[in-house]
């Protein structure tokens, strides 16, 4: 009864893998959908392992 489902970006609860920091920001790549997004270079790395969506990043 299981149906194979494809994850779409719109449905994806992105799991961000943060690359090495470049300046004050880092590039995060979603482990699930491959989407990329800029992240601030947080010092609290604990948030990086959580499911986070930053739709509005302002400086």
> Which region, judged by CB under 5 A, interacts with Zn ion, from 19-27, 29-37, 46-54?
29-37
Shortest spacing between CB 8 and Zn ion, in angstroms: 9
Residue 37 tokens read as 């997004």
What's CA 2's distance to the chain center, in Å?
28
Under rule CB under 5 A, how many of the chain's residues touch Zn ion?
Answer: 6
Report the site for Zn ion in 35-54 (rule: CB under 5 A).
35
Judged by the rule CB under 5 A, the positions of this chain that interact with Zn ion are 12, 14, 30, 32-33, 35
């Amino acid at each position: 009864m299981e149906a194979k489902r494809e994850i779409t970006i719109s449905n994806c609860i992105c799991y961000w893998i943060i690359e090495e920091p470049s300046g004050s920001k880092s590039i995060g790549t979603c482990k699930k959908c491959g989407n990329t997004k800029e992240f601030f270079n947080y010092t609290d790395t604990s948030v990086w392992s959580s499911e986070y969506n930053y739709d509005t990043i302002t400086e």
